[in-house]
Structure 1
């Protein structure tokens, strides 16, 4: 094996080793924070402290990979070569579409869609909104701002997104104590949402990536809190959620394919015009 091949092999091994360390630390940190939450007095309705496990994993990796971690978070590494990132409004609209599809699916399957008025919650809804955004950013700084760009240095957009989605879903280990259909639908949802986020944010870095990803995540969580009782362990609501996310992911992949086809069609014409 020549020097270049050995170097590439070491870099690939380094990436997957970092993925493994991140996942283990994020899981251990989330478990510890979940065990400590009752002692803090912070209601889970407001925010679940487990959400900050991925952020702690990024902090731990930054202790011995400071430069690389900084590059990934800034977007200086793992930038995609595909179409330009979608706007934040489009991504937040995708979150709203998932919630709307969940409601429609619940009506179709159950004949009703439970609605929890914000005023009936035990805590101020404004406080919940802010806390949900902070908690979502605590997750997304790990999944979408660190791990996704890291894997993007070795994989394509879809492959990296699916990988992050699987790890993200498995990280919610408590879900797998439910019925197999419930756990499978949840895993479909995390993979599908990861694909939507991966396509929308590919090539985007810095605070905008975190804010868009956190905003998408928080809107989905708030929508589920108000319109779906998926945490009860009942299978139908989770199936509605998983299928809704899958439909939006298919739409995102289709739109991405159309954009790439248009860009490929325009490129030769632009090159000819420039040459003349």
Structure 2
């Protein structure tokens, strides 16, 4: 046996695929049922879309089946080679948190500039043009965003990180997150492609920003998501399902993700391989 393989043994199965499968199945079904019930509730979709509750319901479902593993994933704990949890920073740090929450502002600003260049006018909707107070919209959007993010970034992202690197796991979550928005896929192909590019790139930003963070994960992810949703509501006019603004959002998200990826790659080269490997841990759950 080669020297570098001595003392290593095969990682026991973690059941991550089964957990991810149950989560996704419940998230899709619960979102579909919630969307079908929304007209009966009288809650306007621009206030909050009940489909956003799907991932939260899915987390509750997997928690019933795998309570301890779900607890660890929600806490951001990743198994390490020594059996101790990795990713134990208490928070994202002021700079990283500020960078994360400023990114949506940058993305929406780029979308507005794109609209200005192509149409000659800023595609901005006045808060007074909507029938509901701004404070209500912000609060409802934040609640809806957190209902999504507790599933995507607080559960599924750490789950996939037990098997894949941060960029791969983040991109996979982003693609699944985009496909979960089933009605988007019924739009023209260019619109759907722009949307999937946006969700994948934004998921990479979120995944890398929250890498190793165990506190405030939900608040940071929910805040990012809320700012994006409000920007789409007031600037890109998501209700119109226009292709150009969505393509601008996808391109802007990709451009914003590149510095995060470059920073993560530089950081990875500055640490030893053992400190960033989570998938080969003996006794990993």
TM-score (norm 1): 0.87
Q: Distance in 1 between matches of 2:133 and 2:92?
A: 35
1:268 matched residue in structure 2? none
Q: Distance in 1 between matches of 2:40 and 2:170?
A: 35
CA contact (8 A) 2:116 2:123 kept: no
CA contact (8 A) 2:77 2:88 kept: no
Q: Give 1:80 deviation, angstroms.
A: 4.6
CA contact (8 A) 1:145 1:205 kept: no
1:272 matched residue in structure 2? none
CA-to-aligned-CA distance 1:33-56 (integer Å, 9 cap, x gap)? 001111111111110010010000
User: Please, which of 206, 222, 232 is the counterpart of residue 240 of structure 2?
Assistant: 232
Q: Give 1:259 deviation, angstroms.
A: 4.3
Q: Distance in 1 between matches of 2:88 and 2:164?
A: 12
Q: Distance in 1 between matches of 2:261 and 2:88?
A: 16
What secondary structure is seen at the aligned counterpart in 1 of 2:191? helix
CA-to-aligned-CA distance 1:54-101 (integer Å, 9 cap, x gap)? 00000011011111111111122364599x946321110111111111
Q: Is 1:100 the counterpart of 2:100 in the alignment?
A: no
1:271 matched residue in structure 2? none
Q: Distance in 2 between matches of 1:27 and 1:48?
A: 14
Q: Give 1:246 deviation, angstroms.
A: 0.8
Name the CA shift for 1:255/1:22 in 2 (closer, same or farther; >3 Å): same
2:178 matched residue in structure 1? 169
For the aligned residue pairs, the C-alpha RMSD in angstroms reads 2.0
CA-to-aligned-CA distance 1:130-156 (integer Å, 9 cap, x gap)? 010010000000000000000011110
Matches within 5 A, 1:1-276: 5=10, 8=12, 10-11=13-14, 14-77=15-78, 79-80=86-87, 85=92, 87-206=96-215, 208-260=216-268, 263=270
List alignment gaps of at least 5 residues for structure 2. 1-8, 80-85, 273-285
Q: Give 1:184 deviation, angstroms.
A: 0.7
What secondary structure is seen at the aligned counterpart in 2 of 1:194? helix
List alignment gaps of at least 5 residues for structure 1. 266-276
Q: Distance in 1 between matches of 2:65 and 2:88?
A: 29
CA contact (8 A) 1:80 1:157 kept: no
CA contact (8 A) 2:77 2:87 kept: no
Looking at both structures, which has the greater relative contact order when contacts are Cα pairs under 8 Å and sequence separation is at least 6?
2
